[in-house]
Chains A and B, each alone.
Chain A
Amino acid sequence: MSSLDDIAVKVEAATGNVTPLLHEIRHALKRVVDGQEGTTIDLQSLPLAPGEQERIESVLGAGEVRAELDALGPTVIQETSYPGVWLVTHRNTEHEVLARFIEVTRIPELLKSQQADIESGISRLATELATADGASFLPQESQAGG
């Protein structure tokens, strides 16, 4: 009995969108170098044939920086082998892809510490300092009087 694997299927489809996208990235990089604003490309908005997204990722490759953010599910921020070009993949708590962007910028916004979080951190640290006695922050041996 034959199985699905026996059916010779070889999809030849290509939208032709990969090369223009790479050119768009090149132009966006030039703008960043010239001191202009960065560019974000929503990969979900582009028609891509099976395998083309993988081709884009393969051409861009992986660079030196990879960061993971754990907020409402994991997000991976990967600098590609082209400095200034970042691949940002947002997943939900079930690890399904919510959105995928190519960000052309010096540093993606999500990697920066956010003003509201910094302010909240200042407040928490101040509370910690106000409620703890001075000994709490000494090494344990010192606290034991040794």
Chain B
Amino acid sequence: MHNDQTLGEYLQSQGVSRRGFLKFCSATASLMALPPSAFAQVAEALATARRPSVVWLSFQECTGCTESLTRSHAPTVESLIFDAISLDYHHTLQAAAGEGAEAARMAAMEENSGEYLLVVDGSIPLGNPAYSTIAGVSNLDMLQESAANAAAIIAVGTCAAFGGIPHANPNPTGAVSVSEIIKDKPIINVSGCPPIPVVITGVLAHYLTFGTIPELDALGRPAAFFGQNIHDRCYRRPFYERGQFAHTFDDEGARKGWCLYELGCKGPTTYNACATLKWNEGTSFPIGSGHGCLGCSEPDFWDKGSFYTPISAGLWGSREALLGAAAAGAAIGVGAAMAARARKKKSQDAEEAQTT
């Protein structure tokens, strides 16, 4: 696709009929979690959308976020959206290396100054610049340099959004999130370890379609995908309401698909779209496969105690006390929220104590 072509012109030049374009817009609207009624707006905006430049930086990360995206189940829409952006720098995916790669980044930033999208995965180490460098440049310097003239930043993955696993206690590299460094640019946090691929693409599609960033929640995440918690959208929720829980991973409750709350599921305190968008071609998600949610899209998820301890156990002292109260499912819902807040406060206090 040429830079001066609109997406509509590009698709037409590829032999895509208007029906094909409408189908693409339908799938894209669904991808962006927009109501189907917004489909006409999407079609109108996409037809005239122009190709934004994207610079993708990878810092302290495991490449899981890029793996998630490139193994997405929707190659047609994905590839069209990727055709519709100009991915000018991504050191894992691009063919160029060394000075050639860095020259491409500098050229893209210069030619699209003030207009390019900066995507970041991975956290940034502040402990010592040499902990993580690219082409001899520290992550901190590269982030600040690349962010200076960006239109907006998408922090992909929990590491970029909240520090993630590198930030976990004792945080040996002094890892921080993008938003702890950059204060003067719009930042969209697409958290998750890894994030759901269609959420990454959905945010790109939103920018491509409307030229703006989507509505965000209090943690800077797109509200369309992170507006509700896993628990409220979980198909096992009716069992929770009735107090029917699996007690082990192979008991009768587990075999009947009952609620995994007592096995440590973090669904009630985790905001993400896994319960509806799902993974692997929409096949399933952790709870659907019999394992509780780990809460990977929330800040400090690695430091919130065992993945297999109920979320309120730490607050109420013993698992037995929790189980006694579990019979009243709705009451626990309130307790779980209180527990989450208390544990978050406890974790913040512990962190502050450690850093002072």
Contact = CB atoms under 8 A, between A and B. Distances in A.
A114 B17 contact: yes
A44 B36 CA distance: 11
Nearest to A98: B27
Contacts of A130: none
Interface of A: 7-16, 40-42, 44-50, 52, 69, 71-73, 75, 90, 92-94, 96-99, 101, 109-110, 114-117
A72 B36 contact: no
Contact of A46 (B22, B80, B276, B281): B276
B282 interface: yes
Q: Is the interface of B mostly helix, strand, loop or mixed?
A: helix
Contacts of A14: 235, 238
26 contacts: A7-B255, A11-B256, A12-B258, A15-B235, A15-B238, A44-B30, A44-B282, A46-B276, A47-B233, A49-B235, A50-B235, A50-B257, A50-B288, A69-B19, A69-B23, A71-B16, A71-B17, A71-B19, A71-B20, A72-B24, A92-B76, A94-B76, A98-B76, A99-B26, A101-B36, A117-B17
Contacts of A12: 256-258
A94 B75 contact: yes
A47 to B, nearest CB: 5
B205 to A, nearest CB: 13
Contacts of B46: none
5 smallest beta-carbon distances between A and B, as pairs: A71-B20, A40-B36, A92-B76, A114-B18, A49-B235
A16 B73 CA distance: 28
Interface majority SS (helix, strand, loop, mixed), chain A = loop
Contacts of B24: 72
A75 B239 CA distance: 36
Interface string B219-249: 0000000000000011111110000000000
A84 B352 CA distance: 61
A63 B23 CA distance: 22
Given A47-B276, A109-B22, A110-B23, A42 B30 contact: yes
A11 B260 CA distance: 13
A16 B45 CA distance: 37
A45 B24 CA distance: 18
A99 B73 CA distance: 12
A116 B73 CA distance: 30
B61 to A, nearest CB: 27
